[in-house]
Structure 1
Amino acid sequence: MNGDIAVFAGSSNKQIAEEICTHLNIQPGKINLKKFSDGEISVKIEDNVRGREVFIVQSTSAPANDHLMELILIMDALRRASVSSISVVIPYYGYGRQDRKVEPRVPISARVVADLLEVGGLNRVLTMDLHADQIQGFFRVPVDNLHFAPVLAEYINTKKIEDLVIVSPDSGGAERARAFGKKVNGSLAIIDKRRPKANVSEVMNVIGEIEGKNCILLDDMIDTAGTICKAADALLKHGAKSVYCAATHGVLSGEAVDKINTTDFAEVVLANTIAIPESKKIHKLKSLSVAPLLANAIKRIHTNQSVSTLFD
């Protein structure tokens, strides 16, 4: 890569930003991030970026508000430093689950976040497995929504798991599970559940043949882990030989790790879109890096090549 490109890392996931830079054969941009005594965020760009194409890597994961505000301030600092363009690389797009009105008098928070980012002065968004595809339409700038599936499929295929069934934890994820099944030669099953309130789910029954099969529960994220753990119990109850779980984003809120640890999973596979603290790393969790995929997308954007081939 030439000197016209710069990659800056916010504080949410510095490791993936460093990996991206390694694959691009560049050094991360120098940036000073700190907080004042009252909690306000301070940003200073330490490099000369005038006229350069800049990419900012920042997941808006917990604490979502701090990371979002930090991202906006980084954009403003870069814009005032006369960069030629700003692309934000958001491996995990926080507030993505609030993508529509599900009851009266509530905001569409995913749209509000898009508006805030556009006010910050971005030119492009590069993200991964948005919770809802329509979020792309909330922006007036180009949005490239990459997928974890190719990276995950390569890993699963190396494990050579026989009698494989891809299980969607709800009907809404059936198409994702079906598409992934084609990549790993797995059949499809769906779990029918009832959700009495937010972050609480009740597994009712399994649609599909899973007895004696090795199952992979596939979802876009694991938050409190209530859904996947109850789903795993249901699959084992219905005669599954083993249960794996795979998700792009490991939010892992509250007691999620404890729930995973006490559930009979063979393995739980996550992308590294969200930095997992050491206290939450257990032997059942397997992290796969999507940094090469993001780096390839950045390179293609910088050289005006098509990014669509990366969606397969």
Structure 2
Amino acid sequence: MPAMTEPKLISGNANRPLAQAIARRMSMHRGMSVGLVDARVERFNDQEIFVEVYENVRGEDMYIIQPTSNPANDNLMELLIMTDALKRSSADRITAVIPYFGYARQDRRAKARTPISAKLVANLLTEAGVDRVLTLDLHATQIQGFFDIPVDNLYAAPVFALDILHHFKGQLDDVMVISPDVGGVARARELAKRIGAPLAIVDKRREKAGEVAGMTVIGEVTGKKCIIVDDLCDTAGTLCKAAEVLIEAGATEVHSYITHGVMSGPAVERVTNSVMKSLVITDSIEPTEAVKNAPNIRIVPTAPMFAQAILNTWSGTSVSSLFETDTLVPIYEGLYSTV
């Protein structure tokens, strides 16, 4: 049964531009002004986080927009404390909209005496009072099973497919999708299927953690415009090395489509100086000025997709409809109207 109250958005400090963009998109859909709930999320001198909500939220359907990106611990604590503030203010339902789910890479015990931090984060969110989670391209889809509450995991692949069909129009016969490792084959295959392109793999071997000993291309990439697909780019070392290996193997161009632009340390400099013609990321993590100014980095907005997903959640309609490229065409009409 559809909710009777309007959905209400509140944002932490992790990515306010995205939260504001989602609010604007929802205003367009609803035909009325949808703003962010007036609140302050600040720190005391000892860096303790304090939250105060200035509007009445009793009985409301609340959506907290907060990626848990760098600084991951601060942004996670903001999310937990905002949840507690809303719960104690008698909000009816609290949905954590987490465009980038931090700690997702710690989804299993790779060796003895290590934590499964993604499960711990799931427990913290549930205990704080979150009723539902909405996120984008989890590093490992089994993380949904760490929660005992509903989790909707959106995918960037339909949006990336729209972008590729738009920017490579008339060149799709030359396009080949590349998985940067064996573990990412399913993600790359999904995008390849959407755009009707063949698939190849870059197999990387590590002698020790953090150091790639060698890379081998599995597949014929000669004369192809290669598109590397992955869920996140951290320091960009592996990504840039993969681009070099593909060019050496005969690729004419290398582009990358990465959902989460973590872009730590030397990442921007590496990408700028690499053989990659372009790196396309989403705004799930607020881009730094260096990322915005990089000549070969382009940012695709996620606000249209998140706004529609929030409205579908609020109204009790299907969120999985957003997994289809055709569904997103009207949502992204202003950006990809010529597709």
Where on the TM-score scale, by shorter chain, does this alignment land: which range?
Answer: over 0.9
Preserved contact between residue 164 and residue 185 of structure 1 (Cα < 8 Å): no
How much does 1:3 deviate?
Answer: 5.0
Contact 1:247–1:270 at 8 Å: present in 2 too? yes
1:123 pairs, out of 127, 131, 156, with 131
Structure 1 segment 280-299 matched on structure 2, within 5 A: 280-281=291-292, 282-299=294-311
1:65 partnered with 2:73: yes
The CA distance in 1 between the partners of 2:210 and 2:72, in whole Å, is 18
Identical-pair percentage: 45
Given the alignment, which residue of 265, 270, 278 partners 2:281? 270
The C-alpha deviation readout for 1:3-44, integer Å capped at 9, x for no partner, is: 532100110011111111111110111110111001111111
The CA distance in 2 between the partners of 1:95 and 1:212, in whole Å, is: 38
Mapping of residues 104-253 of structure 1, within 5 Å: 104-159=112-167, 160=169, 161-162=171-172, 163-253=174-264
**2:101 is paired with a residue of what secondary structure?**
coil
1:265 Cα deviation after fit: 1.1
C-alpha distance after superposition, 1:129-151 (max 9, x if no partner): 00001100000000000000111
Which residue of 304, 314, 317 corresponds with 1:302? 314
Contact 2:215–2:242 (CA<8 Å) still a contact in 1? no
1:92 aligns with 2:100: yes
Q: Which residue of 2 aligns with 1:8?
A: 10
Residue 101 of structure 1 and its aligned partner are, at CA, apart by: 0.2
What SS is found at the alignment partner of 1:105?
coil
**Is the Cα–Cα contact under 8 Å of residues 138 and 153 in structure 2 kept in the other structure?**
yes
What are the Cα deviations for residues 168-196 of structure 1, in whole angstroms up to 9, with x where unaligned?
A: 00011112111111212211000111123
Match of 1:27 among 24, 35, 42: 35
Note if contact 1:221-1:250 (Cα within 8 Å) is conserved in structure 2: yes
Task: In structure 1, give the amino acid aligned to 2:323.
Answer: F
Task: Spell out structure 1 runs of 4+ moving beyond 4 A.
Answer: none
Q: Does the 8 Å CA contact 2:188/2:229 hold for their aligned counterparts?
A: yes
Q: Distance in 2 between matches of 1:223 and 1:269?
A: 14
Distance in 2 of aligned mates of 1:5 and 1:81: 16
The amino acid of 2:244's aligned partner reads: D
| TM-score where L is the length of structure 1 | 0.98
**How many pairs were matched up?**
312
State the shift of 1:280 in Å: 3.0
CA distance in 2 between partners of 1:221 and 1:88 (Å): 21
Does the Cα contact within 8 Å between 1:199 and 1:224 map onto a contact in 2? no
Distance in structure 1 (CA, Å) of the matches to 2:100 and 2:208: 24
| 3-state SS of 2:188 partner | helix
Give the match's secondary structure for 1:189: strand
RMSD: 1.2
CA distance in 2, matches of 1:7, 1:196: 47
How far is the alpha carbon of 1:254 from its aligned partner?
Answer: 0.9
Whether the aligned pair in 1 keeps the contact of 2:26 and 2:307 (CA below 8 Å) is yes
Per the alignment, in what secondary structure is the counterpart of residue 183 of structure 2?
helix
Is 1:45 aligned to 2:57, yes or no? no
Could you tell me whether the CA contact under 8 Å between 1:203 and 1:231 is conserved in 2?
no
Q: Residue by residue, what CA displacement relative to the aligned partner does 1:59-85 show, whole Å, maximum 9, x if unpaired?
A: 000000000001000000000110100
Aligned partners of 1:203 and 1:230 also within 8 Å = no
